[in-house]
Amino acid sequence: MILLTGANGVVGRQVKNVLLRQGIDVTGVTRGDGDLFSPGWIEPALEGVEAIQISPRATGPGLEALLKLAAGRGVRRAVLLSATTVEYPAGEARFAAQFKKAEELVTRSGLEWTVLRLADFAANALAWVPQLQAGDVVRGAYGKASTSPIHETDIAAVAVRALLGELPAGSVYTLTGPGSVDQHEKVRLIGAAVGRALSFQELPPERVRQGMLAQGLPEEVPDRLLGSLADYSERPGPTTTTVEDLLGRPALTFADWARDNAPAFQAQPIRS
């Protein structure tokens, strides 16, 4: 049995599907399921679990308690979804510190562990869906911000190997896509996938921040996004070959991701 925290997230859904296709039993936990601090709630879910995938944003401050319960219930290994910012700082330090703290807790948990430090998710581009369903322009800040975005399929493929004990315990892997692209190029590649001429329009960061807050998003969201983009506009995020090294095939590109997700960006018909 594998337990997935953040099971409804971008990575959690992919990992669940891969495991189920392999005939492996999966239990999913999401932030809406309950309080991870509560032993009475989470302990039954740990029955028969061999490995647990940890999303710090799903577990929040309950991670330490969850790890103690897991170790006490005989769980063998933990796979942590961390971030490249632990090793390659970008954005506000407090966000990287949250991932660093999670890494410390996992590596001291007494479980066999693997840490996956993940680059910018290609799927973060889904935030542009409303704009691209309504028109052909994405409006945002820091158009030259460059990262090597990683396809969730590649994250899942590596995570499953780690969960099944096929990777050496006590390892830290930095996973990125195969090449750096800025936001202008991301939008162009989405356009190529959907057969439309799309473009990115630069806006002042403060205007973007206020727009996000006006949508009801908590301040943490624009703080996290804009801080990272500001740094990546000055210095691109890291690029590694780790996905290819571990999987024996090239990492999927952002163009691959755009083709896989093209239907989400199609313009919606105008209804009278």
How far apart (Å, rounded) are the C-alpha atoms in residues 114 and 5?
Answer: 15
How do strand 171-175 and strand 112-118 relate by DSSP bridges? parallel
Q: Is there a contact between 177 and 151 (Cβ–Cβ < 8 Å)?
A: yes
Q: Is residue 10 assigned to a domain?
A: yes
Residue where the block lists tokens 């933990």: 78
CATH number at residue 113: 3.40.50.720
In a domain, 257, yes or no: no
Structural domain that includes position 53:
2-122+150-176+238-252
The DSSP result for 29-56, as a single string, is: E-TTS--TT-HHHHGGGGTT--EEEE-H
The residue type of 225 is L
The per-residue pLDDT string of the chain (272 residues; one tens digit each, 9 = 90 and over) reads 999 999 999 999 999 999 999 999 999 887 655 555 555 677 888 999 999 999 998 888 889 989 999 999 999 999 999 999 999 999 999 999 999 999 999 999 999 999 999 999 999 999 999 999 999 999 999 999 999 999 999 999 999 999 999 999 999 999 999 999 999 999 999 999 999 999 999 999 999 999 999 999 899 999 999 999 999 999 999 999 999 999 999 999 999 999 999 999 986 655 54
Q: Which pTM was predicted?
A: 0.93
Note whether residue 230 is domain-resident: no
Q: 122 φ, ψ to 5°?
A: -55, -35
- Integer Cα distance of 217 and 20 in angstroms: 34
Centroid of chain to Cα 214: 25
Residue 75 lies in a domain: yes
Interaxial angle between packed helices 220-234 and 93-107, expressed in degrees from 0 to 180 and rounded to the nearest 10: 100
Report how many domains make up the chain. 1
> Would residue 113 count as lying in a domain?
yes
Asked whether residue 199 is domain-assigned, the answer is no
Q: Is 267 contained in some domain?
A: no
pLDDT for 36: 57
Domain assignment present for residue 25? The answer is: yes
> Which pLDDT value is given to residue 41?
72
